[in-house]
Amino acid sequence: MSGGMIFFVVIVAVIVYGIALYNKLVGLRNGVKNSFSQIDVQLTRRHDLIPALIESVKGYMKHERETLEAVVAARTAAVNGLQAAAADPGNAQAIAELSGAEQVLSGALGRLFALSESYPELKANENMRDFQEQLTTTENKVSFARQAFNDAVMSYNNSIEMFPSSLIAGWFHFMPSAFLEIESETKREMPAVKF
């Protein structure tokens, strides 16, 4: 085999390898988008449940208007954040804004449910219990979808940061994605233990 032929084979192998890396990165980026679509479905369901929940508690909680308005405002911000993130799940800023909006919504819903404990008739209301159960189920589905999304983001980010795929990622402007964090700060606190 002549030197020119070896050089040609090496160049073709490098090009084929580069194409394979590019295709892998595109596949991983599409995996991030697909994983986010699962979150989109669950968060949309969560957001759709909230107006019906508000309607069911309005009659009981007439003096808690501020809390109800906070839930409505937080829901609106979360819906807007979801729309922005769904338009480009790879946009780290949109994902961060969605995370913040969802945390505010979780906090507002937590305050609403805590206040509902002060209203025995509301606590005993079948609709209220049903909404709480549906929201809890949806929250669990969001957690699973978020974990799958974050796993896809980790694989994608690892691929664009590791050599040699980082070269292809840099040349074709593959940008890192952000993890979606929708956890309340209270879940991270150490529980108080009393004896």
* Beta-carbon count within 10 A of 108 CB: 22
Which tens digits make up the pLDDT trace of 16-33? 999 999 999 999 999 999
Lowest mean pLDDT among 50-64, 98-112, 170-184: 50-64
> What are the CA-CA distances from residue 91 to residues 82, 94, 178 (Å)?
12, 5, 7
CA 158 vs. chain centroid, Å, equals 19
Residue 195 clears pLDDT 60, i.e. is over it:
no
pLDDT band of residue 184 (cuts 50, 70, 90) is: low
Residue range 114-146, pLDDT digits in tens: 888 888 887 777 888 888 899 989 999 999 999
Q: Identify the pLDDT of residue 52.
A: 86
Full-model pTM: 0.80
Give domain limits for the chain. 3-177
Distance from C-alpha of 75 to C-alpha of 87, rounded to nearest angstrom: 18
Structure confidence by residue, pLDDT tens digits, 53-71 = 888 888 777 777 888 899 9
Residue 183: per-residue pLDDT: 64
Q: What is the mean pLDDT of residues 147-162?
A: 95
Could you tell me the fold of the domain covering 3-177? de novo design (two linked rop proteins) (1.20.1440)
Asked whether the beta carbons of 33 and 147 are under 8 A apart, the reply is no
A 10 A CB-CB count for 16 gives: 10
